[in-house]
Amino acid sequence: MPGIPQTAAQTLEQAQNETESVQAQIRSEALAEANAIAAPEQSLVSARLRALGSSDIFAYQGLNFLRAVPSTALDALAADPLVAEITSIESKTPLLNTSVPAIDAPAFYSAPPL
């Protein structure tokens, strides 16, 4: 309400909300810019992949990566100047002895709530 001063906690909460909003906007704009840069090359390589027999091609957002390459197309793709690198993506199941230290879980769980 106008005329009623805010408490320090209310002022801090408002500042945090405004900061989070600005950060979200910046992230959204950065993602849109990265997608706009990657999209033309992804389209060209996707067309090449389809011509080589690929289906279910997945283009990552924010990164110039594609997924779903049949093994029969690897040599042809490796020769394509638009392809910088070909790597195998392995699915792995995280285990507690590696995932807990990786995310610094004790610090995460002992941190004060936001």
Q: Which residue's structure tokens are 């990552």?
A: 60
Residue 2 in any domain: the answer is: no
Tokens for 20, please give them.
Answer: 């989070």
Residue 3 in any domain: the answer is: no
Residue 1 in any domain: the answer is: no
The reported pLDDT for the residue numbered 50 is 86
Residue 68 in any domain: the answer is: yes
The reported pLDDT for the residue numbered 2 is 63
What pTM value is reported for the model?
A: 0.53
Residue 101 in any domain: the answer is: yes
Residue 43 in any domain: the answer is: yes
The reported pLDDT for the residue numbered 43 is 92
Q: Check: CB of residue 27 under 8 Å from CB of residue 61.
A: no
Q: Check: CB of residue 77 under 8 Å from CB of residue 48.
A: yes
Instruction: Give residue 41's domain range.
Output: 8-110
Domain count, the chain: 1
Q: What's the pLDDT band for 36 if we cut at 50, 70, 90?
A: very high
Asked if residue 74 has pLDDT above 80, the reply is: yes
Q: Which residue's structure tokens are 């995932």?
A: 99
Q: Determine the Cα–Cα distance for residues 62 and 39; give it in Å rounded to an integer.
A: 10
Torsion angle of C-alpha atoms 28, 94, 108, 11, degrees rounded to 10 = 20
